[in-house]
Amino acid sequence: MDVMPLLLLVAGSAAVAAAARRTPAPAPLLLVAVGLAVSYIPGVPSYTLDPHVVLPLLLPPLLYTSASDSSYLDLRAQLRPVALLSVGYVLFATFVVGWAAYLIVPGLSLPAALVLGAVVAPPDAVAATAVARRVGLPSRITTILQGESLLNDATAITAYKVALGAAVGAGATWADGIAEFALAAIGGVGIGLVLMAPLHWLRTHLTEPLLQNTLSLLIPFVAYGVAEQAHASGVLAVVVVALYLGHRAWEVDFATRLQEEAVWKMVAFVLESAVFALIGLQLPIVLKRLGEYEGTSAAWYAAAVFAVVVVARFVWVYPATFLPRLLSARIREREENPTWRGAMVTSWAGMRGVVSLAIAFAIPSSMAAGPRNLILFLTFTTVIGTLVVQGVTLPPLIRLLRFPGRDRQAETLAEANAQAQASRAAEARLDELLSDERNALPPPLADRLRTVLERRRNAVWERLGQVNPVTGESVDDTYRRLSREMISAEREVFVRLRDHRYIDDEMLRALLRRLDLEEAAAFREAG
């Protein structure tokens, strides 16, 4: 097997994604644009998007990392709007887009048109998360969009299977569709619930961080594979397991958490970059298969379907946002009041992505070649259209709507109060331990424990206080900077001693790791 095309894809997409961080352009958009341009360079390998690779190998880890970073409590609080989007909107978009395509494209049967509707119905988890991170959406809207994109693939894939059965003459009925959806949803959630506790037990009982992180990398594939073997939704199984493990991540030891965070950041970066680059690289393949629908008619069909996809989301989101509040006093009491600005952003943040393309590529040859190729083309143009049009305009739209920013002062005050409560508990525990003669420590070491605790307690409060008039730093910032300079000086001495053969490389690595852990304890990630 020739691995060079894969290496080129990973290296090239990572380089473009890294460059995007230095530009105002969203990384997904830049990756797609570069993929489109590179696809026509002579000698570039053909990167066919294989659904047998994307769905079982790329989708589970991307869903897992997105779900594990999400808040189970926030998602539970927003379960009603999330369900309306991830189930209600997907089914609505399937029928609306399908019916519109049936009316617009001559000769396209209604079942084939509904296949297209199901394929382009779900906004993509990768696209939604990437854009939400970049533009800094309000937390409630971000939670709703992430929850929708985590759960809607299960609805879309089930609707696709039912419509496909009708399109190829398999005799699927409404009853079959409802039964299949119930099996997929209940089975996927059930398998996730069954797997999550044993997997968490394994994570907390493996004592070697390397083994724990190996398990972490395997978990999304295990959950997805078990569910799919049972003809349930692998998507829902992965999401349920990831939400549970993310919610209980504090029970895993610190070394595992540090390694796991770094590993999954790298995995998500590489996979997200490769996925968006793959979307752009599909253009020659899609155009080559277009066949009888070439020319201006194909462009008209693409523009019309894209417009229907965009408008249908507005048609669903605004009533789904405000009607339940008008009809239910309980909803008005329990949920915060939504705004038209939030509904506007939710409506406009419906980018499609690689899942839609993977499903389109999976349409079997038993469907007539003409409709199959047209569905692939319209899926591709819809994905590109939403990424380009909505991806480019979403950040300025959010700025134009003037969403209130985060109250940093209130957040810092809440953090300081939480740290103060934790410090009091730790101090009481320390006094209790030191009163036992088995834990006797020399006074300097006991004082050091108290000093570390006091500094951790005061550090957050100092961020609320005055800054250095010369440097603009808080006391805590100055402490961190001086600590880093001291650690850097120690590090240079260790390296110099190794270079003069006073210590060997094994001892150097042990000493550097000790400094690294001290530096990690002293500095937290900004923001």
What confidence tier does 135 reach under pLDDT thresholds 50, 70, 90? low
Q: How far apart are alpha carbons 421 and 462 in whole angstroms?
A: 16
Give the tokens for residue 250: 């504090």
Q: How far apart are alpha carbons 97 and 311 in whole angstroms?
A: 10
What does the DSSP assignment read for 132-157? HHHHT--HHHHHHHHHHHHHHHHHHH
pLDDT of residue 88: 94
Cα 318 to chain centroid, rounded = 25
CA angle at residue 63 from 196 to 80, to 5 degrees? 80
- Work out the average pLDDT over 117-124: 91
**Whether 120 contacts 106, CB under 8 Å:** no
**Whether 91 contacts 154, CB under 8 Å:** no
Helices (H), ranges, 402-504:
408-434, 443-464, 475-499
Give the tokens for residue 300: 């008209």
pLDDT of residue 406: 61
Burial 120-145 (b: 16+ CB within 10 A, else e): bbbbbbbbbbbbbebbebbebbbbbb
- Measured between its terminal Cα atoms, the distance across the chain in Å is 44
How many Cβ atoms are within 10 Å of 286's Cβ, its own excluded?
21
Q: Is the dihedral of CA 230, 236, 238, 241 positive or negative?
A: negative
pLDDT of residue 343: 92
Assess whether pLDDT exceeds 90 at residue 91: yes
Give the tokens for residue 420: 């103060």
- pLDDT tens figures, 144-185: 888 898 888 888 888 888 888 877 765 556 666 677 778 888
Q: Kindly report the length of the chain.
A: 527
pLDDT of residue 1: 47
99-107 long-range contacts (CB < 8 A, ≥24 apart) are 100/304, 100/305, 100/308, 101/301, 101/305, 101/308, 101/378, 104/301, 104/304, 104/305, 105/301, 105/374, 107/370
> pTM higher than 0.75 for the full model?
yes
**Whether 163 contacts 363, CB under 8 Å:** no
- pLDDT tens figures, 267-279: 988 988 888 888 8
pLDDT of residue 132: 60
pLDDT of residue 221: 96
- pLDDT tens figures, 388-437: 898 888 888 888 887 765 666 676 677 777 777 887 888 888 888 888 88
What confidence tier does 526 reach under pLDDT thresholds 50, 70, 90? very low
**CATH number of the domain at 4-401, please?**
1.20.1530.20
Q: Is the dihedral of CA 314, 303, 116, 149 positive or negative?
A: negative
Kindly list the domain boundaries of the chain, sorted by start residue: 4-401, 406-465, 482-527
- Work out the average pLDDT over 21-26: 76
Helix axes 234-247, 174-205, angle to 10 degrees: 30
Give the least confident one: 291-300, 337-346, 422-431: 291-300
CA distances in angstroms from 94 to 180, 185, 235, 483, listed in the order given = 16, 18, 19, 58
CA atoms within 13 A on the CB side of 100: 24
pLDDT of residue 283: 81
Assess whether pLDDT exceeds 60 at residue 325: yes
**Whether 168 contacts 366, CB under 8 Å:** yes
CA distances in angstroms from 459 to 417, 453, 519, listed in the order given = 12, 10, 16
Of 309-318, 414-423, 440-449, give the range with the top mean pLDDT. Answer: 309-318
